[in-house]
Homo-oligomer: A and B are copies of this chain.
Amino acid sequence: METVGQIIRAKREAQGLLLRQVAAHLDIDQAILSKIERSERKPTKENILKLSEILKLDKDELMVQFMSDKIAYEIADEDCANRVLKVAEKKVKYLKAHPIKS
């Protein structure tokens, strides 16, 4: 089970890029990127978009990994985690079928 960080690091190294190079493209300090790759910090959506660009990763796929990481992390310690996901699925379905009028 790969984390977003592991995916990123693998791809960055495969392309022979340095932390500092990729971080510059994201416009953040390399220290943060280092932490993101080791799952010590979470990337922002902005980070994910720019990472998919420079590392030539599929944007949607990376976003899915990013968001599922976040969700899994926030409910993993609950013993009702699976039920939470099931109910969330229903709610998402409902929300998509009944969009809020902005």
Interface, chain A (partner B; CB < 8 A): 1, 60, 63-65, 67-69, 71-72, 74-76, 78, 80-85, 87-92, 94-96
Some 9 contacts from A to B, beta carbons below 8 A apart, are A1-B90, A1-B91, A65-B87, A68-B88, A68-B91, A71-B88, A82-B89, A85-B85, A85-B89
Asked if A92 and B76 sit within 8 Å, CB to CB, the answer is yes
Asked if A88 and B85 sit within 8 Å, CB to CB, the answer is yes
Asked if A84 and B96 sit within 8 Å, CB to CB, the answer is no
The 10 A-B residue pairs whose C-beta atoms are closest, nearest first, are A72-B91, A68-B87, A68-B88, A1-B94, A71-B88, A76-B95, A67-B84, A72-B88, A81-B92, A72-B92
